[in-house]
Amino acid sequence: MMLIRRMEIPVIAEVRGIAAAAGCQLVATCDVVVASDTSKFVVPGQKVGLFCSTPGIPLARAVPHKIALDMLLTGEPIDAQTALRCGLVSRIVPEKDVKFEALKVAEQIGQHSRAVTALGKKFFYSQTELGVSDAYRFGGKIMTENLKFKDAQEGINAFVEKRKPSFRHTDEKV
């Protein structure tokens, strides 16, 4: 699961049906989650005498603690709408559209600089471990570094010139 967080590219999950125990852990770990409107999410270990400790780690970081504990202590599932409201999933679509929507998200992300996406993902997860003041300081440092990327300069110039950017997808500096 830690590999997903360390990967430079975003990891997009498609969920149809039930994501149970380690499946729910995977959902909570992924960067973007597209679920069917009939999906359910459950960590049922408690019902058989096994607390879902490892699935609870990313779950506690993905949803409010009261929701995570309710799921972990009761072993009862939540539906897709609840999962969306509490932040476990990013988008809900009809089951027939899950793959299409996930590919759409991937294409949207893929239009951007891979180097900036990697920097942004790494920054996002790193700053969540910091206090607010330290996160802002770190964010300022990252923004300054990001502005040095050739891809950032290309994006800014393309915006000003009202054209589509042509990214090099590297962290090469100007």
Per-residue pLDDT of the chain (174 residues; tens, 9 = 90+): 899 999 999 999 999 999 999 999 999 999 999 999 999 999 999 999 999 999 999 999 999 999 999 999 999 999 999 999 999 999 999 999 999 999 999 999 999 999 999 999 999 999 999 999 999 999 999 999 999 999 999 999 999 999 999 999 998 999
Fold of the 112-160 domain: Lyase 2-enoyl-coa Hydratase; Chain  A, domain 2 (1.10.12)
- What is the predicted pLDDT for the residue at 84? 99
Could you tell me the pTM of the whole model?
A: 0.92
Measured between alpha carbons, how far is 148 from 126 in angstroms, rounded to an integer?
A: 20
Superfamily for the 2-109 domain: 2-enoyl-CoA Hydratase; Chain A, domain 1 (3.90.226.10)
Measured between alpha carbons, how far is 94 from 43 in angstroms, rounded to an integer?
A: 23
Is 166 exposed, middle or buried (CB count within 10 Å of its CB: 0-12, 13-18, 19+)?
exposed
- What is the predicted pLDDT for the residue at 168? 94
Every domain of the chain and the residues it spans = 2-109, 112-160
> Are 2-109 and 112-160 the same fold in CATH?
no
Measured between alpha carbons, how far is 37 from 61 in angstroms, rounded to an integer?
A: 23
Measured between alpha carbons, how far is 164 from 111 in angstroms, rounded to an integer?
A: 10
- What is the predicted pLDDT for the residue at 63? 98
- What is the predicted pLDDT for the residue at 79? 99
